[in-house]
Chain A
Amino acid sequence: MALLDVNHLDVRFALRQGDVKALRDVSFSLDRGERLGIVGESGAGKSVAAFSLLNLIAKPGYIAGGSITFDGQELTGLGERALRKVRGHRISMIFQDPMMTLNPVLSIGEQMVECLKAHRRISSKEARAISLRKLEQVQIPSPEKRLDQYPHELSGGMRQRIIIAIALLLDPDIIIADEPTTALDVTIQAEIMALLLELCEKHNVGLILITHDLGVVSQVTQRMLVMYAGRVIEQGPTREIINDPQHPYTQGLINALPQMATPGERLNQIRGSMPSLSQLPSGCPFHPRCDFTQRHDGSERTPCKTEVPAFVRSGNCEVACHMVAELQDAERIVAEEDNS
């Protein structure tokens, strides 16, 4: 059984126009030490997915259905107290903006010691020693000095290292990183990603990496989910999806990258834009932008507009697409006819 199991998760936001379904029927799992990427554009629901794992969704949002099982324990409907034992302790989080996590009026050392003492019964001296060791792990120059510095005295890259050190403080089983390097410069981003990867491998920590950058996902993760309009539309081993995407959206996303086109030529763009979650199209959420809603013979593939596609297996991946399902059916029929 996987360490973390998310099944048919539904998250909604109660707004005055009515409920907005931010996540619908999201299922995935994470094994111990596994690195999973969640990819999608803004509004796809990738951050909501991460936040709902620890029940951190803000007020109008609520979990409307589904289950989240962590290490055999059901997390949905768990009280605040019990959740706190998991949060930060066994699952910790890294946010995009380090200043969101760091308290500007406390020194780095104070924050780390406080965090340790909240979860473990140890002396301040021990806590400080552990903090120092963690800072060494994230390769911060002169860690002793950093303990007494305040967040504003450090550069962006350094702060993100501190955040990683804090995330590792209690030796968690899983780290959820929500766009951890988006606010950083390219060279710093590369270093932080490399560090995160190295630490996760060394300490056998699971990683859920939320990002819009396919390059980062391909470098760091083993498996990935592609999300669109609150749904998972494709999931499987990262390499397989990057090399041979099945879903038209994933294909479009990869083909739209400048490196996939000849310099100076037109880029392969996806038409239109992501629908707003309150005005989702019927059927497959991607169908208004999809180039494959017609079959090769020109006939309309009607289920695209009427039915939400179910997952079909393709290699080691799962894809929610009517076209892929139809093609597979056709192949199977051909194969059966050949056999008989």
Chain B
Amino acid sequence: MSQTTQAAVKPPTEPIQQDGPADMNPAAGGDSLLEIRGLEKRFSLSGDFLEQLKFRRGRIVREQQHVHAINGVDLDIRRGESLCVVGESGCGKSTVARTVMGLLRPSAGEIRYDGERIDHLDSKALLPFRQRMQMIFQNPYASLNPRMTIQQTLEEPIRLHHPDWKPQQVVDKVHEVMSSVGIAPDWGSRYGHEFSGGQRQRIAIARALAVDPEFIVADEPISALDVSIQAQVLNLLMEAQREHHLTYLFITHDLAVVEHFGTRVAVMYLGRVCEVAPTATLFARPRHPYTQALMSAIPRLEDDRPQHLRLQGEVPTPVNLPSGCVFHGRCPHANERCRREIPRLITTDEGGQVACHGVEEGRLS
């Protein structure tokens, strides 16, 4: 990267030109299960303290470089819905998922679960929430401990969250979740590597369901699977939602899946949310130019030729964020204001939210 040399000390927090959380449109009122407000996450690229010290013009200065994975994300997840977060690699969608689950600490912002702030809790205080929120991972080949049998893998969370259960109760519960995901309970003494990718993902789902959660974060749960298996796993996830009244935060890059699975969709680009809308609305009428480009790029069976909107250039690196709207460099409709000012999410008449000056000004339909 050629920019690295001149990237001097970045101010720790960039002034986000967005009004505080109070101004956010609490469209759904009180039924939000999870609220994310002004979430930011930076990763340091500069190693430990000693490596950050640089010698510049006769003085020792401390230099740090950051990847700005998420920059001020506001999202509400409503009880019982499947909120899909889509975007291309590096847009920060997985970071959102991992921050929500407490695997990463946010650099700024708040996460509230059922009204309670959870982003600053230590692991002990978080334990009751761990039972209510679970996660399913992308790679079924890495998400099961290779040295543990399926029985052990599934028993572990149950024992942890129900220390008073009798051994027989635990075994019964394991058998129940195994059958509910379509894995024969007598396969419990096998190891993960003896199963196919689809079966492993079923086991990972069983592990998440074992503690009877109400909220599940699924980070690209089907993108490592074959087409015919993807359908099986999606069906399983939808069944589980009906049976256990689950709420999903579903991270994916595949818009075709979103159209089928999501209640609402949030489109992310370079760490910001550019559009949030109910699925049908978004697919009927995408408002943000990026959403439009993304949707046109899905290869459809009906097409005889690629039909995509051409974008200029490529996704910039999240190390040096562009000023103004993060999408302006590739946007065909960008003007001076887009280069200068960060757009905020405005509510459209169709019930969605868009962060685009063009839409706000009525330049774009």
Binding site for B on A (CB under 8 A): 41-42, 141, 153, 155, 157-158, 185-191, 193-194, 197, 212-216, 218-220, 239, 242, 252-254, 256-259, 261, 263-264, 266-270, 273-274
Closest 6 CB pairs of A and B: A215-B299, A258-B260, A185-B88, A190-B308, A256-B231, A41-B226
Q: Is B297 an interface residue (CB 8 A)?
A: yes
Other than the given A188-B314, A191-B311, A274-B196, 12 more pairs (CB < 8 A) read: A153-B2, A186-B298, A190-B296, A212-B226, A215-B299, A219-B306, A253-B228, A256-B230, A256-B231, A257-B231, A259-B300, A264-B261
A193 smallest CB distance to B (angstroms): 5
A-B contact pairs, 24 of them (CB 8 A): A41-B229, A153-B1, A155-B315, A187-B293, A187-B308, A187-B311, A190-B299, A191-B310, A194-B305, A194-B306, A215-B300, A239-B304, A256-B228, A257-B231, A259-B256, A259-B260, A264-B260, A267-B235, A269-B228, A269-B235, A270-B232, A273-B197, A273-B228, A274-B196
Cα separation A253 to B227 with both chains bound (whole Å): 7
Q: Which chain A positions have C-beta within 8 A of B89?
A: 185
Q: How many A-B residue pairs have CB under 8 A?
A: 131
Cα separation A254 to B311 with both chains bound (whole Å): 29
Chain B residue nearest to A149 (CB atoms) is B2
Task: Contact check, A267 vs B231: say whether CB atoms are below 8 A apart.
Answer: yes
- Which of B226, B228, B279, B306 interacts with A190 by CB under 8 Å? B306
Chain A residue nearest to B230 (CB atoms) is A256
Q: Which chain B positions have C-beta within 8 A of A193?
A: 299, 306
Task: Contact check, B259 vs A186: say whether CB atoms are below 8 A apart.
Answer: no
Given contacts A193-B306, A274-B226, contact A263 B297 (CB under 8 A): no
Q: Which chain A positions have C-beta within 8 A of B280?
A: 263
Task: Contact check, B253 vs A185: say whether CB atoms are below 8 A apart.
Answer: yes
Q: Which chain A positions have C-beta within 8 A of B302?
A: 218
Q: Which chain A positions have C-beta within 8 A of B198?
A: 273
Q: Which chain B positions have C-beta within 8 A of A219?
A: 299-300, 303-307
Q: Is B199 an interface residue (CB 8 A)?
A: yes
Task: Contact check, B260 vs A190: say whether CB atoms are below 8 A apart.
Answer: no
B265 smallest CB distance to A (angstroms): 12
Q: Is B61 an interface residue (CB 8 A)?
A: no
